[in-house]
Chain A
Amino acid sequence: MTEVQLFGLWGSFFSHRIEIALKLKGVEYEFIEEDLSNKSPLLLQYNSIHKKVPVLVHKGNPIAESRVILEYIDDTWKGHPILPENPHERANARFWAQFIDEKCRVALRNAYGCQEKEREEEATREACELLKTLENELKNRRFFGGDKIGLVDIVANFIGFWLGAIQEALEVKLFTEDRFPKLYRWSEEFVNCSIIKESLPPRDKLISFMRRRYGLSS
C-alpha cells in the first residue's frame, strides 16, 4: 500500500489541485475515484465532518479541504515550494487563493447557474469585476507565483481550464481574451504546462458532463 492516497473525482478541479501539487513535488500517490452517489466507507471515515472529496491520506492520516491539503503538502515535501519563503508574500498568496475560492468561484457559479435574465446580468457583472481584480493582481507576471506555478495558480485552476469547458457547454462568453487579456494569457500558459496538461480531465468528457449537469442535451 502506498504511503499517499488521494480520494478524488475525475472531473473535480478541487482534486485536480491536489494532483498538481503532488506531481510538482514528485510525490507518488494512489488516486481513488469516489462515486459521490455512493460514498465509500473509507471516505466517510476519513472525512467524517464534511464527507467530501478531495481527501489526502498520508501514512493513514486524513486531511480534507483543498487549500488546507495544499499547505500540508508544502509543509511536508520540500521540493518545488508552492508558497514563497517571505512571510508577507506567503500571506499575500493565501489572501489571493482565498479570494479566488470565496469570491471568484462563487460569483462565477452564480453567473452560470442563473435562470432569470436580470439576475444573470447582475451576477455576470459581479463575476467580471472580481475577475478584473484578480487580473490586476497578476500584473505582467507569467504566473501568480512568478516564474513558476505557485499556490495561487493552483487554486485558480478552474479559471485556467474548467471555465473554458463550462463556457463551451453552456454557450456563454464571460471569460474572454478581449475582456481579460492578461488572465486569458495566464490560462493558456497554465494549461500548457506539462504537469498541468498530464493531469487535466478530457475536455470533451467534461463538456458533456457540464451539459448534463446544467440540464442541457449532450
Chain B
Amino acid sequence: MAEESVKLLGYWASPFALRVKWALKLKGVHYEYVEENLPNKSPLLLRYNPVYKKIPVLVHNGKPLAESLLIIEYIDEAWKQNPLLPDDPYERANARLWAKFFDEKCVPEVMGAFASKGEEQEKAAKARENLKMLERALEGKPFFGGDKIGFLDIAVGWIGIWGRIVEEIAGVSLIDAETMPLLTAWLNNFLEVPVIKACIPSWHELLEHNKGFHKILTGSST
C-alpha cells in the first residue's frame, strides 16, 4: 500500500484549524502540521486555497481541501474508524444543521460582541440567546454525539475556550452556567477529554494574542 501523506496548514490561534486537528486526532491519523505565518500567507497556502486564501487547508496525497467543516466531513469519509457523523440519515442531517446554525447564527454574534465598542452587551445578549438553543441538540446526552464525541462536538467545542476569552476581554457574558446548565456541563466534559485537551493552545498566549486583536478592532487602548 502506498504511503499516505497528510498535511494540515493551520494557524496556532485559529479555532477553525483546531477543529480539524481534533478530527484528525480522534481518527488517529498521522499528519504533518504546517504553521502559516499569518498575516503573511505562504505561496503554498495561496496555491492550495486560491478561492478563499485561508487556513485550515488539508492536503491528502497532494489533493487540497478547504473550509473546516467540509474538511471534517472528508476526514470522516476517508478514514472509517471512530465515525464522527452518525449512521442514521436524519441524525446526520441534524448534526449538519446544528453545525450550520452555530457557524451562521452564534459565531458572528460572538465575534460581534468582541469587535464592537459600545454595542458589546447587546450583541452578547443575542449570542447567548442563540447559544442557548444549542442545548436542544444535547437532549440529556453527555455529548452532542451521544456517549462519545462526534462531529457536532468538535464543530462547536472551541466556543468553550474562545468564548471565555471574549468574556474576559470584552467584559460580557456568553456562556452562563445558570441559564445554560446543559451547555456548561457539556463544555466542561468536552474540554477535559484527553485528546481534545492536548490540542488546545496556551490560554495565556491566546488571551494576549486576542487582546491585541481587540485593540485593533475597537480602536481602543487597553
Q: Which residues of A are interface residues toward B (Cβ below 8 A)?
A: 49, 58, 61, 63-65, 68-69, 71-72, 75-76, 87-88, 90-92, 94-95, 98-99, 133
- Interface 1/0s, chain B 131-161, versus A by CB < 8 A? 0010000000000000000000000000000
Q: B residues within 8 A CB of A92?
A: 65
B78 within 8 Å of A (CB atoms): yes
CA distance A199 to B83 in the complex (A): 37
Count of chain B residues with Cβ under 8 Å from any Cβ of A? 22
CA distance A87 to B73 in the complex (A): 9
| CB–CB B51/A71 < 8 A | no
| CB–CB B71/A75 < 8 A | no
- Known contacts being A90-B77, A133-B51, is A71 close to B92, with CB within 8 Å? yes
| CB–CB A63/B90 < 8 A | yes
Partner of B74, one of A49, A71, A91: A91
| CB–CB B89/A72 < 8 A | yes
Q: A residues within 8 A CB of B63?
A: 88
CA distance A72 to B91 in the complex (A): 9
Number of A-B contacts (CB under 8 A): 56
- Known contacts being A76-B89, A95-B65, is A68 close to B73, with CB within 8 Å? no
B66 within 8 Å of A (CB atoms): yes
Q: B residues within 8 A CB of A87?
A: 74, 77-78
Chain A: which residue is nearest B97 at the CB level?
A: A68
- Expressed in whole angstroms, the minimum distance between the Cβ of B12 and any Cβ of chain A is 25
CA distance A15 to B206 in the complex (A): 43
| CB–CB B67/A65 < 8 A | no
List 6 other contacts, CB 8 Å, given A72-B90, A90-B73, A98-B70. A63-B94, A68-B97, A68-B100, A71-B92, A95-B66, A98-B67
Return the 8 tightest CB-CB contacts between A and B, nearest first: A75-B89, A87-B77, A91-B74, A72-B93, A87-B78, A63-B93, A76-B89, A68-B96
| CB–CB A94/B70 < 8 A | yes
- Expressed in whole angstroms, the minimum distance between the Cβ of B63 and any Cβ of chain A is 5
- Known contacts being A75-B89, A87-B77, A94-B73, is A63 close to B97, with CB within 8 Å? yes
| CB–CB A68/B93 < 8 A | yes
- Expressed in whole angstroms, the minimum distance between the Cβ of A11 and any Cβ of chain B is 24
B31 within 8 Å of A (CB atoms): no
16 CB-based A-B contacts, threshold 8 Å: A49-B101, A63-B93, A63-B94, A71-B92, A72-B89, A72-B90, A87-B77, A88-B63, A90-B73, A90-B77, A91-B65, A91-B73, A94-B73, A95-B70, A98-B70, A133-B51
CA distance A65 to B66 in the complex (A): 21
B27 within 8 Å of A (CB atoms): no
B60 within 8 Å of A (CB atoms): yes
Q: B residues within 8 A CB of A72?
A: 89-90, 92-93
CA distance A47 to B94 in the complex (A): 12
| CB–CB B97/A64 < 8 A | yes
Chain A: which residue is nearest B88 at the CB level?
A: A75
CA distance A64 to B94 in the complex (A): 9
CA distance A92 to B65 in the complex (A): 7
Chain A: which residue is nearest B95 at the CB level?
A: A68
| CB–CB A88/B60 < 8 A | yes
CA distance A62 to B73 in the complex (A): 22
CA distance A69 to B89 in the complex (A): 10
- Known contacts being A49-B133, A65-B100, A87-B78, is A71 close to B93, with CB within 8 Å? yes
CA distance A88 to B60 in the complex (A): 9
- Interface 1/0s, chain B 67-83, versus A by CB < 8 A? 10011011001100000
CA distance A183 to B49 in the complex (A): 22
- Expressed in whole angstroms, the minimum distance between the Cβ of A156 and any Cβ of chain B is 16
Chain B: which residue is nearest A97 at the CB level?
A: B70
Q: A residues within 8 A CB of B101?
A: 49
| CB–CB B96/A71 < 8 A | yes
CA distance A133 to B89 in the complex (A): 32
- Expressed in whole angstroms, the minimum distance between the Cβ of B88 and any Cβ of chain A is 9
Q: B residues within 8 A CB of A58?
A: 90
Chain B: which residue is nearest A64 at the CB level?
A: B97
Interface positions, chain B 110-126, Cβ under 8 Å from A, are none
